C-alpha cells in the first residue's frame, strides 16, 4: 500500500500510529509519502516512511527532503494469532446483514 499524506504538526504521533496500524491490520507493507514544509498556517511534519507487514519501520526520513532506498520484504512470516483475515468468522456475516 502506498499513500500520499499531508499530516501536520502537532499530529506527528497520529501520523506514526495510523501508518503502523495500516500495515499491521492489513498485514502488508506500507509506504507513506508525507508532505514536508509550510504553507500558510500549516506546518507539515514530513517523516515519510516504509513500514513492513509486521509494523516495523524500515525507513524514516524525519524532517529531511531526500530520496533513499530500502529493501522491503514482500513475504514475511506473520503471527497467526494476529491474522485478521485468517481469524475472521465468515459464518457471522449473514447475521450482520439481517
pLDDT at 50 over 90: yes
What mean pLDDT is reported for the chain? 86
Does 56 sit behind a cis peptide bond, omega within 30 degrees of 0 on the bond before it? no
Residue 70 domain-assigned (yes or no): no
Q: How many domains does the chain have?
A: 1
Which pLDDT score, from 0 to 100, does residue 96 have?
72
- More confident site: 1 or 13: 13
Residue 36 domain-assigned (yes or no): yes
Distance CA 78, CA 67 (A): 29
Residue 83 domain-assigned (yes or no): yes
Residue 42 domain-assigned (yes or no): yes
Residue 33 domain-assigned (yes or no): yes
Distance CA 5, CA 25 (A): 19
What average pLDDT does this structure show over 20-42? Answer: 90
Are 50 and 31 a contacting pair, CB within 8 Å?
yes
Which pLDDT score, from 0 to 100, does residue 48 have?
93
Structural domain containing residue 30:
2-65+79-97
What average pLDDT does this structure show over 9-31? Answer: 88
Residue 72 domain-assigned (yes or no): no
Residue 71 domain-assigned (yes or no): no
∠84-90-92 over CA atoms, to 5°?
110
Whole-structure pTM value:
0.76
Amino acid at each position: 500500500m502506498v499513500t500520499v499524506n499531508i499530516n501536520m504538526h502537532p499530529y506527528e504521533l497520529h501520523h506514526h500510529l495510523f501508518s503502523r496500524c495500516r500495515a499491521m491490520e492489513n498485514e502488508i507493507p506500507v509506504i507513506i509519502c508525507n508532505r514536508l514544509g509550510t504553507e500558510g498556517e500549516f506546518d507539515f511534519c514530513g517523516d515519510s516512511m516504509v513500514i513492513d507487514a509486521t509494523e516495523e519501520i524500515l525507513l524514516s526520513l524525519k524532517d529531511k527532503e531526500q530520496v533513499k532506498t530500502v529493501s522491503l520484504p514482500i513475504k514475511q512470516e506473520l503471527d497467526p494469532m494476529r491474522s485478521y483475515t485468517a481469524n475472521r468468522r465468515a459464518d457471522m456475516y449473514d447475521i450482520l446483514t439481517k
